[in-house]
Amino acid sequence: MARMKFLCDSDRCIECNACVTACKNEHEVPWGINRRRVVTINDGKPGERSISMACMHCTDAPCAAVCPVSCFYTTADAIVLHDKDLCIGCGYCFYACPFGAPQYPRVGNFGGRGKMDKCTYCAGGPQQDNSPVEYIQYGSNRIAEGKLPLCAEMCSTKALLAGDGEIIASIYRERVQQRGYGSGAWGWRTAYREELAV
Amino acid sequence: MRRFLPLALLALLAIAPAPAQAQNAGMPQPLGDRGQPDAAELEMRALLRGEPIAGRISIPDAQAAKLIQPEGQQWRAFHNRTLAWIGGVAVLGMAALLGLFFALKGRIRIGGGWSGRRMQRFNLLERANHWMVASTFIILGLSGLNLTFGRHLLLPLVGPEAFTAISLAGKFAHNYLAFPFTLGLVVMLLLWVRDNIPNRLDLDWVKAGGGFVGGQHPKAGRFNAGQKLVFWITVLGGGLVAVSGYVLIFPFTVADVAGQQVAHMVHSLLAVLMVAAMLAHIYIGSLGMEGAFQAMGSGEVDYNWAKEHHGLWVEQELAKARQSTAPTGAKAAGAD
Amino acid sequence: MLIKRNDGQVARQRLASAYQGLSGGGMDRRGFLRQAGLGGAGLAALGTLGAGRARASGAATGVLDHAKPVTRVKNICTHCSVGCTVTAEVQNGVWVGQEPAWESPINRGTHCAKGAAVRELVHGDRRLKYPMKLVAGEWRRIGWDQALDEISAKLLQVRERAGPDSVFWLGSAKFTNEAAYLYRKLAAFWGTNSVDHQARICHSTTVAGVANTWGYGAQTNSYNDIRNARTMIIMGGNPAEAHPVSLQHVLAGKEINRANLIVIDPRFTRTAAHATEYVRLRPGTDIPLIWGMLWHIFQNGWEDRDFIRQRVYGMEEIRKEVARWTPDEVQRVTGVPGEQLKRVAQMFATQKPSTLIWCMGATQKTVGTANVRAYSVLLLATGNVGANGTGANIFRGHTNVQGATDLGLDVTTLPGYYGLDENAWRHWARVWGVEYEYLLSRFGSKALMEMPGIPTTRWFDATLMPGEREKTAADGEAYVAQPHSLKAMMVFGHGGNTVTRIPESIKGLEKLELLVVADPHPTTFSQVSGRRDGTYLLPICTSFEMDGSRTASNRSLQWGAKIVEPIFESRNDYDVLHALTRRLGFADRMFRDIETRDGKVVAESILREMNRGLWSIGYTGQSPERLKLHMEHQDKFDLVTLRGREGTPVAHDYYGLPWPCWGTPEIRHPGSHILYNTNLHVKDGGGTFRARFGVERNGETLLAEGSWSKGSEIEDGYPEFTVAVLKRLGWFDDLTGAEKASLERHFGANIDRAAWSTDLSGGIIRVAMEHGCSPFGNAKARAVAWNLPDPVPVHREPIYTVRPDLVAQYPTLPDRRGFRMPHLGQSVQARSAAAARDFPIVLTSGRLVEYEGGGEETRSNKWLAELQQDMFVEINPADAAARGVRDGGWVWVSGPENASRVRVKALVTERVARGVAFMPFHFGGFFQGEDRRKFYPPGTDPIVLGESVNTVTTYGYDPVTFMQETKVTLCQIRSA
């Protein structure tokens, strides 16, 4: 079975924000919720790098581990999704997530949160695939249509890769060989504080 | 370092007659990405410095500028392991300890039996405030424990939808009741701080094991050392729990995600310890000791009970009572 | 860990103001909550503790019914000139989704932030919905008929009183080719040459400079061809933000070829972050830098001597000028160290093929034309023109600025760069089927008919200064060389905040008797001035709501199909222009050969008329059928060569039939991917340099020597083809009977003078190509352009320079006249010494990826607006510290003219060097601290407003095109 992953090739990312607006477009994400965002490190200096970041659909998802109501689930494609009808908006998933993926509409009392929203890898939610209610709550379900996440499909320089982890890793490896420099995928070592060979 | 290289090499080339290959080899590093640290390198540096990786972002949400916050994993470990263990051991351990104590020692009786005479220990304000703090504490405690343990203990029993309903209600209750709880703590502090200042008597009381072991009733004032401990746990612990709690219900107003995590750790750790402590308090105030509950129940305690457990306080109260009934200058006849 | 209180507050304020600030529009709270997955239940209602399933209310516009059929329609993104295909999913006449357009060889399914968000433009929350009229300062809704009746009546009145030249027709790069052509034709039938569009402020200097060097002023290669380059210099361009999808090809080339990517820019931009070498220079010193590179190249013998000998005229004079630019002098003037420049020069000259990419950084200067000429000379000297991976890769700006330029929305020419002389007019009279005398009668005089009109950059000067019949002696030189000043302005698709000197343009706006803005959005024109009457807004639909072709920067034409009907009461440009000209009285003649169906103009028939007239640039082979075939078979084209694969319906064609696509559609010329490429046969898209400037000069031949395109029967240089030339070569009888008849009919006794560009049969072109020759001749490119103010480009300091010490040696031009108006130079530069003291920071301006142009449309798009909510100025940390300016704090940026100033946020960054500041130009809606939101028609104000950088920009124009100097002026920054 495929294991769906994201990989942002920071050698190619130019912070064009296509991934951000493609996501907004496809799922009608409201103002203030940023399922995907682009961050620029070392802005203005040599060594500047831009990286597009959203939920990384971790194999051992910290958000799922800390959720008090256990509203997360992992699909057969290794996509991490959650059930908004079970979410109580406590915010723990944001504390745990190394990537800051959970977003909240900020419509509660005391500056509290509403139902958590995050990147769904364009795989919708627990509602029936491609039904209007799934769209309203989670956005469109491209995976059910056999497509891939729109952010990666529309990335202007094909920096953001999405798909089966093996395949995108081999694409990235080819690029690294072609360039003759640079190695290692972003984020692994820092996020998980582990030594991972990529 | 790199900037000096071209000059040094130029000098070299100027002196020595160099073949064509050497000239290319001497080309200085350009100011571009070929010679610059790449993504993995930058990441490694941040990792070694123990920093989260952050940059610039064009949207106004400052949180979003943090690309990776590895502390999240540590917080997860705290929440799922550390807190669960400490909380579990503390609460269950305390319950077990109390159970064992009750099994061995049974209910602590009033030595001289019920005297039938009563004296006021706590007035209406004190009792009402105590029960407000107590009842809110119970709901706060239960709803709080639910956030850590509920998914393992309660969810399998009632199913996801009911569990979410309960948890959501619990969350609202927790957020709203935090205010009367905090208010009550402040009132408690104002009402009782004077009588809870530790003194030498408390040291003796502790040395005597509080009378729990051995059967001797060490002397105590209005509040014995154990009760003073409960007071300070409540006021200080509760105070910290309240402050950290406010940080949590107004997220990212004074702290970033690392600060929120710290607030949560303080809040949850102190809270479970307080739950454990209050189990003991609840035990001794109800099942554990005959005559204790009346203090907060009706506010009037049995005279014998008071003499046994808070003898010095009884004397003070009687002295006050005598002073208020006797005419000035009058002397007690034969009673001194 | 503890964050400043401000940040959280700011985040909340952002949301709050985003909702409250909107006047009667934007997403309401209920919709917001609904989409946040909270169902219908109010959050605070404790009574509803059940987390019920959200009701399927279907309010979001992107909801697709998967059970019903969905159509896919292809159009082209309306933002930049890369020309990305947009694939729209349509259901029930509603545009419900976008899918990646994998098939397009240009973007291969990808977009930038803007392209990925275009669906929102047609949802059009904040678009102009119906015609509006300003009455006593209030916006009133009116009907189309009333609007057009009143406007045309007023126009005819103005014409009667002040002549046709007193109306300025401002067109747009957003036009489809067909609309641009119609607009130019309208101006011709109206009787004025004052018709212009955004190219003026964009690449007008490029077109002038490059065309004056080797014939055509367009991108010589293509985005895809950059994949072949071994060295790329991007100088004065930031394609990572302005043309993001082009970076797909640039970075691919960088990776595949281990290419050198050199970025030369005063700012360390997002593009520079991916460079292998970054060169920082002082703004406005491009020519010294290029000559500095050439100094090293000539010094070391790295130039391509064969290429120069065969195909370049006048390099000796360049050598003389270059000799003065020693490394020391270059460093003194530009700030670039000699070693670095030598390295760059060596890479460019020896690690070929090399290409030079540029955009506004090169063009928007008082020396813009000279800059571009210097760039071209560098390419010629190193032999980097006319082959794969080489060339002047000029990245145009807006979606169809290339097409609109080609179709003559330019005050100096008729469509196809024919110019304005009598021959040009006679040619178009023939194409349009009207008498030359009729067109002459529409103008004030023959002189005015052949005189370039008023350009966009200075329309307000032409409004405020008197005309010849209005001036008095006291005015001196300050008058417009036409009978009357401008009295009325018709604006179709152009913003009001992209031209310099806004405070003065406001005075011009207030003086106009009639202002008509036809646009999907009201633009800043609707609110920036104190106008209270005589203003109309006409809702024009976007190019997604109409059919039409557009030309991408690489000269490929792409046909965009209508996705949905125009929304609300908006109409497309063709129908509005048709309705307008009916009331102006010349629709019958103007639309003589243009088809209408059910009262609507048919876009294809306009293209066919274009095919019949645009011989000079080869817009003749791109028929609607061929273009539509290309869109249908996009996936059959090779990614790098853009050639259609064998055995497919588009075999041999280049994608989009990039012009010149010679001859009639029947001969099926494939288009020309790479210009001036002598490695290919002319019939295969090959070519030579145009013989535009004569045959000989000062005893030297201007024709190519020893260079010709593959298969050419003339193995040497040759002039452009006329009937006389054909006769001399003995090829006259290769013309068919029909072709000869056409020539005889149109030229009669003058048949010998009939040229390849004026022959309506296309026969001369066909015959020339049969013999392997370029119809426009085979000449040398000119390193020296003797008809320009600076035949050899020389360095001139910017008008407002931060180095007054260099003005004596490198002054700007003396005061003169141009485009009917006085053109000041040295008299303004004389102020520099004082200005540099009080305004010590060099101000430059440019683009952001999230917004386009004036920004009114993209700032109304909620998905884009969220990403850039504040106008800002980039300021170096040292400059900020010296002024007590914090990152995110408010500052006043003031300019040296008009006591102008703007209040913006500070972005403290090392992107800009010390002493340099940058501001994006996409913002409008604030003026000198004042919020102008309430002056927009209700419901049409963009979500995000901000100060316009052009409030503080200054006087300064290129002498050849009156391009404005937006890339280098002076400012002061103070904490607010």
For residue A180, count CB atoms less than 10 angstroms from its CB and return exposed for 0-12, middle for 13-18, buried for 19 or more: exposed
Nearest to C353 by CA among C228, C208, C474, C472: C228
Nearest to C495 by CA among C471, C520, C525: C525
Q: Which long-range contacts (CB under 8 A, 24 or more apart) does B327-333 make?
A: none
CA distance A91 to chain C (A): 15
Q: Could you give the 3-state DSSP secondary structure of residue C831? A: coil
At C95, the pLDDT band (50, 70, 90 cuts) reads: very high
Mean pLDDT of chain B: 85
Q: Which of C61-65, C240-244, C419-423, C799-803 has the lowest mean pLDDT?
A: C61-65
C5 and B6 within 8 Å at the Cβ level: the answer is: no
Longest dimension (CA), chain C: 98
How many Å apart are CA C842 and CA C855, to the nearest integer?
A: 24
CA distance A95 to chain B (A): 6
3-state helix vs strand vs coil in chain A, percent to 5 = 30, 15, 55
Q: Could you give the 3-state DSSP secondary structure of residue A50? A: strand
3-state helix vs strand vs coil in chain B, percent to 5 = 70, 5, 25
Mean pLDDT of chain C: 92
User: Can you tell me the mean pLDDT for C811-821?
Assistant: 96
What are the backbone angles phi and psi of residue C49, rounded to the nearest 5°? Answer: -85, -10
pLDDT at C7 over 60: no
Nearest to C662 by CA among C704, C608, C622, C694: C622
Q: Which long-range contacts (CB under 8 A, 24 or more apart) does C863-866 make?
A: C863/A20, C863/A21, C863/A24, C863/A25, C863/C113, C863/C117, C863/C120, C864/A21, C864/C113, C864/C114, C864/C117, C865/C942, C865/C943, C865/C944, C866/A24, C866/A31, C866/A32, C866/B59, C866/C18
pLDDT at A53 over 90: yes
For B253-306, what is each residue's pLDDT tens digit?
899 999 999 999 999 999 999 999 999 999 999 999 998 999 999 999 999 999
C49: nearest CB among B32, B169, B258? B169
How many Å apart are CA C61 and CA C903, to the nearest integer?
A: 37
Using the Cβ of A174 and the Cβ atoms of chain C, whether some distance falls under 8 Å is answered with: no
pLDDT at B328 over 70: no
Chains contacting A with at least 3 CB pairs below 8 Å?
A: B, C
How many Å apart are CA C176 and CA C516, to the nearest integer?
A: 20
How many Å apart are CA C195 and CA C456, to the nearest integer?
A: 8
What are the backbone angles phi and psi of residue C792, rounded to the nearest 5°? Answer: -105, 125
How far is CA C243 from each of CA A160, C361, C394, rounded to the nearest angstrom? 18, 14, 11
**Model pLDDT, residue A193:** 52
Pure H helices in C585-722: 587-590, 603-613, 624-632
How many Å apart are CA A158 and CA A154, to the nearest integer?
A: 8
C62 and A178 within 8 Å at the Cβ level: the answer is: no
pLDDT at C875 over 90: yes
For C876-898, what is each residue's pLDDT tens digit?
999 999 999 999 999 999 999 99
Transcribe C231-300 into DSSP letters: EEEEES--HHHHSHHHHHHHHHHHHHTT-EEEEE-SB--TTGGG-SEEE---TT-HHHHHHHHHHHHHHT
**Residue given tokens 């996440």 in the structure block:** A149
Chain C residues 80-99 with a CB less than 8 Å from chain A: 97-98
pLDDT at C55 over 90: no
* pTM for the whole structure: 0.90
For C704-720, what is each residue's pLDDT tens digit?
999 999 999 999 999 99
- Strands (E) in C92-198, as ranges, are 94-99, 132-135, 138-141, 167-170, 195-196
**Residue given tokens 């130029």 in the structure block:** B10
Q: Could you give the 3-state DSSP secondary structure of residue C118? A: coil
Domains and CATH numbers, chain C: 77-123 (2.20.25.90), 134-199+402-552+556-613 (3.40.50.740), 204-397 (3.40.228.10), 696-792 (no CATH), 804-975 (2.40.40.20)
CA distance A44 to chain B (A): 10
Using the Cβ of A172 and the Cβ atoms of chain C, whether some distance falls under 8 Å is answered with: no
DSSP one-letter code for C132: E
User: Can you tell me the mean pLDDT for B80-101?
Assistant: 95
How many Å apart are CA C42 and CA C44, to the nearest integer?
A: 6
| R_g of chain A computed on alpha carbons | 17
**Model pLDDT, residue B261:** 96
User: Can you tell me the mean pLDDT for B310-330?
Assistant: 82
User: Can you tell me the mean pLDDT for B179-186?
Assistant: 96
User: Can you tell me the mean pLDDT for A53-61?
Assistant: 95
How far is CA B210 from each of CA A107, B94, B202, B226, B291, rounded to the nearest angstrom? 52, 18, 9, 7, 17
Which residue in C has a C-alpha nearest to residue B173's C-alpha? C46
Chains contacting B with at least 3 CB pairs below 8 Å?
A: A, C
Which CATH architecture group holds A4-192?
Answer: 2-Layer Sandwich (3.30)
How many Å apart are CA B182 and CA B193, to the nearest integer?
A: 16
Using the Cβ of C265 and the Cβ atoms of chain A, whether some distance falls under 8 Å is answered with: no
B55: nearest CB among A34, A40, A99? A40
pLDDT at B334 over 70: no
DSSP one-letter code for A6: E
How far is CA A178 from each of CA A173, B35, C137, rounded to the nearest angstrom? 9, 17, 63
Using the Cβ of A70 and the Cβ atoms of chain C, whether some distance falls under 8 Å is answered with: no
pLDDT at C353 over 50: yes
At B210, the pLDDT band (50, 70, 90 cuts) reads: confident
Q: Could you give the 3-state DSSP secondary structure of residue C141? A: strand
**What angle do the packed helices C286-299 and C338-350 form, to 10 degrees?**
70
- Strands (E) in chain B, as ranges, are 53-54, 66-68, 118-120, 300-302
How many Å apart are CA A86 and CA B159, to the nearest integer?
A: 11
Domain ranges of chain A: 4-192
For A78-137, what is each residue's pLDDT tens digit?
999 999 999 999 999 999 999 999 999 876 666 568 899 999 999 999 999 999 999 999
pLDDT at C19 over 50: no
Cβ neighbors of C426 (< 8 A, separation 6 or more) are: C436, C758
CA distance A122 to chain C (A): 13
pLDDT at C775 over 60: yes
> Letter for the amino acid at C976?
A
**Model pLDDT, residue B22:** 32
* Pair of tokens at residue C974: 């103070």
Looking only at the bridges linking them, the beta strands covering C132-135 and C138-141 are antiparallel
Q: Which helix (H) or strand (E) holds B309?
A: helix B303-309
pLDDT at B51 over 80: no
Sort out which chain A residues have CB atoms less than 8 A from B53's CB and list them. Answer: 41, 190
Domains and CATH numbers, chain B: 88-325 (1.20.950.20)
**What angle do the packed helices B238-249 and B257-285 form, to 10 degrees?**
140
At C60, the pLDDT band (50, 70, 90 cuts) reads: low
* Pair of tokens at residue C59: 């309010």
Residue from B4, B10, B59 to probe the interface with C (highest C Cβ count within 10 Å): B59
Could you tell me if C254 and C379 are in contact, meaning their C-beta atoms sit under 8 angstroms apart? no
For C173-216, what is each residue's pLDDT tens digit?
999 999 999 999 999 999 999 999 999 999 999 999 999 999 89
Which residue in A has a C-alpha nearest to residue B178's C-alpha? A110
What are the backbone angles phi and psi of residue C312, rounded to the nearest 5°? Answer: -130, 135
CA distance C407 to chain A (A): 30
* Pair of tokens at residue C727: 């006769």
C343 and B254 within 8 Å at the Cβ level: the answer is: no
